[in-house]
Structure 1
Amino acid sequence: MSEVKVGIIGLGNMGTSHANQIFKGNVQGAVLTAVCDERPERVDWAYETFGSDVQVFSSLDDFFDNENIDAVIIATPHYDHPKLAIKAFESGLHVLSEKPAGVYTKNVRQMNEAAEKSGKVFSMMFNQRTNPLYQKVRELISSGELGEIKRTNWIITNWYRSQSYYDSGGWRATWAGEGGGVMINQSPHQLDLWQWTTGLMPTRVRAFSGFGKYHDIEVEDDVTAYVEYENGATGLFVTSTGEAPGTNRFEVAGDRGKLVVEDNKLTFWRLRQSEREFNREYKGGFGEPECWKIDIPVHGKSTEHIGILRNWVDAILHGADLLAPGEEGIKSLAISNAVYLSSWTDDWVDMPIDEDLYYDKLQEKIKESKYEKPEVEQVTLDVSGTH
């Protein structure tokens, strides 16, 4: 294979961006051959933008029947990600899915199984993994420079959203439309980085969520989650769309000091001696290990979405290692699901969670949701590039 023929499902903000990048030749080795969207206005946009160079579909069945596709980018609403990915794998196609992996881990697990069975290249659009800053955090932790982790804290409250934002679409901030609020919509990247940089997944979670606390919405806009890890470390994740000004501060404390990410800077308070070792040996009463404050140099720029696109195509063509393997999408979603389940039951939740219980609770929320997906008129198309 000398090039990857890419089809895109969903021409919203992200799908449109990916389509333009590939169509303009900014992803070496990839060529845009097909797009699919059920909305007539996006179909018209695709014809006006791509002309006869790209096949345009409003029917998913017709899209998947097209033999001029090697790989699929899924950029649809959250609920559709797993079922479309499974369909793509069954059709023998490589897959890149937008985040989150889905809304509940039960069907994301099925998606991962389909990916493994297919043998195709599967990636997730965790574009923040391309940021050299977070790559450096991961390196310092995985190399043992920080020592064993004791505590993780992430305050990510700079997601401020006004009521008019939520009022701009009936699907926004609804259980039926999005499957959640700030945890599933704004915070998936941080949840992914939280576990990716530290290498830790919680063993249990206790969370407190405010549903419609600051806005007239049915889902959560304020969350405080406490987690525990297998090694005895603890963690805290705080997020909200109702605070201004907000904060974005990630802190990891270990046996050899602490790392802090804030204002796009990485600071390492490095202990010259292990705290545990100092604690055993020091006999002077008051005292603590000598500490150096180091501003860690971070080189390079974050390549964001196009970096993930290029990495995915390179993996298909040349076997490159994936920066964001699709199967890892379930990790951040599992944390998110645990936070919801703990909030709904007002109790601790052990991980892995009871997926059937979570699914049942979510269905209850969906039934009570004010949003009902409207019927969309299908557009009759041929595959010749005209309509």
Structure 2
Amino acid sequence: MATFRIGLVGLGNMGTGHANYLIEGGIKGAELTAVTDVRPERLAEIAEQWGEHIHRFESPEEMFRSGTVDGVIICTPHYDHPAQAISAFEHGLHVLIEKPAGVYTRQVREMNEAAAKSGKVFGIMYNQRTNPLYAKLKDLISSGELGEVRRTNWIITDWYRTQSYYNSGGWRATWAGEGGGVLINQDPHQLDLWQWTTGMMPTRVRAFCQFGKHRDIEVENDVTAYVEYENGATGVFVTSTFESPGTNRFEVSGDRGKIVIENGKLTFWRLRTPESEFNANFKSGFGQPECWKFDIPIQHGGGQHKEITENWVSAIVNGTPLLAPGEEGIKGLTLSNAMLLSTWTDSWVDLPIDEDLFYEKLQEQIAKSDSAKKADHYETLSVKGTH
């Protein structure tokens, strides 16, 4: 069987990270054969570091039509992901994109349609799906161990970022450069895991985003969102980048108890009798179901980025089911778009969202974005990796 040939689009931090394990032979049956970056000096460094045998291209389009790759990993800025993925599909290539899928759902929906039309394997780098903690939570919920989900709460405020971090690049924390703040840059994994582990998307969202709180930036860095689900369950999502020390606690309450992930542990408070059954039968006034506390054993490991890439290659070569299908990137992005739209309109937002209205509101923010930072964004559009 021929070796699967991978090309990298963008050699910022993330692209370089992927290149390192590919060059070391970390993905069985695959090799890095080509790279593209808009910086000639970066391409020259690649020739010195990794050898002349790796093809180097000044543009993604040039690499896509070169015949040197079978699939590509896209590691460019957020706005570029959909357009570059669509182009790759049109050239008959398999695609793995870095998160987030894009900045607004309208462009991501177009990417998903192009993927379906192409028949190629499409993945997204949701590497936290390989984390055994969240895989176990998903298993406990989907198997019915927790019973029907009644409430979800995620406090994720340990994304601490200083002003110097934001000042390190003119594209950072700008509407023109990144398309948002904590929701689009730091939280895509949590927004994905929130719906992936529970198997539920909200029906409507009411959110309160604050922009540039305690930091000199344009975008949201403090968010509190309330959501409602079709089965009557509710949820809260709280995130920020200025709290120290921060918290990372995900709690899911169900008919059979409560599960909490915090400090690298998964704890299950399991009711001996489902709450709904206890409530229907208990006649003595005050009382609660008998509850047992378990610290659920979790396997160590989780292959993170490398495992997602390995799974993507295996899906192409062997037909293995994808752990993180690219089409699912629209789900977490829908949540972040809904939170921003709710704030901008000061109202509830029903899902699916009004994609045209979100795009219109986003363009209003971009129009007000600092012009110097906006220019810097367009000069470096295809250079920097995510984060």
Name stretches of at least 5 consecutive residues in structure 2 with no aligned partner. 381-387
Any idea what the Cα deviations from partners look like across 1:45-93, whole Å, max 9, x if unmatched? 2122122110111122321221011000000000000000000001000
Any idea what the Cα deviations from partners look like across 1:90-139, whole Å, max 9, x if unmatched? 10000000000000000100100000111101000000000111100000
1:118 corresponds in structure 2 to 118
Contact 2:22 2:31 in 1 (8 A): yes
1:244 corresponds in structure 2 to 244
- Aligned partners of 2:67, 2:339: CA distance in 1, in Å? 42
- Aligned partners of 1:309, 1:168: CA distance in 2, in Å? 29
1:335-350 matches, within 5 Å, as: 335-350=335-350
Q: How many residues align?
A: 377
1:177 corresponds in structure 2 to 177
Matched, 1:88 2:88: yes
Contact 2:141 2:197 in 1 (8 A): yes
1:380 corresponds in structure 2 to none
- Aligned partners of 2:358, 2:328: CA distance in 1, in Å? 20
- Aligned partners of 1:60, 1:8: CA distance in 2, in Å? 9
Q: For residue 234 of structure 1, what is the amino acid of its counterpart?
A: T
Name stretches of at least 5 consecutive residues in structure 1 with no aligned partner. 378-387
1:265 corresponds in structure 2 to 265
2:167 corresponds in structure 1 to 167
1:324 corresponds in structure 2 to 324
Q: For residue 243 of structure 2, what is the amino acid of its counterpart?
A: E
Any idea what the Cα deviations from partners look like across 1:137-180, whole Å, max 9, x if unmatched? 00000000000000000000000111010011100000000000
1:288-299 matches, within 5 Å, as: 288-299=288-299
Cα distance change of structure 1 residues 64 and 373 upon mapping to structure 2, 3 Å threshold? farther
- Aligned partners of 1:7, 1:209: CA distance in 2, in Å? 38
Identity percentage of aligned residues: 67
Displacement after TM superposition at 1:376 (Å): 4.9
Any idea what the Cα deviations from partners look like across 1:246-295, whole Å, max 9, x if unmatched? 00000000000000000010000000001011111101111000000001
TM-score by length of 2: 0.96
The secondary structure found in structure 2 opposite 1:192 is helix
1:71-82 matches, within 5 Å, as: 71-82=71-82
- Aligned partners of 2:352, 2:210: CA distance in 1, in Å? 24
- Aligned partners of 1:72, 1:60: CA distance in 2, in Å? 10
1:233 corresponds in structure 2 to 233
Contact 2:60 2:84 in 1 (8 A): no
Displacement after TM superposition at 1:12 (Å): 0.5
Contact 2:61 2:87 in 1 (8 A): no
2:211 corresponds in structure 1 to 211
Q: For residue 209 of structure 1, what is the amino acid of its counterpart?
A: C
Q: For residue 194 of structure 2, what is the amino acid of its counterpart?
A: W
Q: For residue 157 of structure 2, what is the amino acid of its counterpart?
A: T
Any idea what the Cα deviations from partners look like across 1:12-66, whole Å, max 9, x if unmatched? 1110011111111111111111100002332222122122110111122321221
2:285 corresponds in structure 1 to 285
The secondary structure found in structure 1 opposite 2:375 is coil
- Aligned partners of 1:299, 1:162: CA distance in 2, in Å? 34
Matched, 1:363 2:363: yes
Contact 1:38 1:376 in 2 (8 A): no
Q: For residue 189 of structure 2, what is the amino acid of its counterpart?
A: H
Question: RMSD over aligned Cα, in angstroms?
Answer: 1.0
2:374 corresponds in structure 1 to 372
The secondary structure found in structure 2 opposite 1:52 is coil
Any idea what the Cα deviations from partners look like across 1:218-248, whole Å, max 9, x if unmatched? 0011000000000000000000001000000
1:193-212 matches, within 5 Å, as: 193-212=193-212
The secondary structure found in structure 1 opposite 2:359 is helix
**After the TM superposition, which of the residue ranges 81-90 and 62-71 deviates more from structure 2?**
62-71
The secondary structure found in structure 2 opposite 1:184 is helix
Q: For residue 42 of structure 1, what is the amino acid of its counterpart?
A: R
1:192 corresponds in structure 2 to 192
2:109 corresponds in structure 1 to 109
The secondary structure found in structure 1 opposite 2:226 is strand
1:44-55 matches, within 5 Å, as: 44-55=44-55
- Aligned partners of 1:234, 1:172: CA distance in 2, in Å? 33
- Aligned partners of 2:339, 2:64: CA distance in 1, in Å? 36
Contact 1:81 1:102 in 2 (8 A): yes
Q: For residue 266 of structure 1, what is the amino acid of its counterpart?
A: L
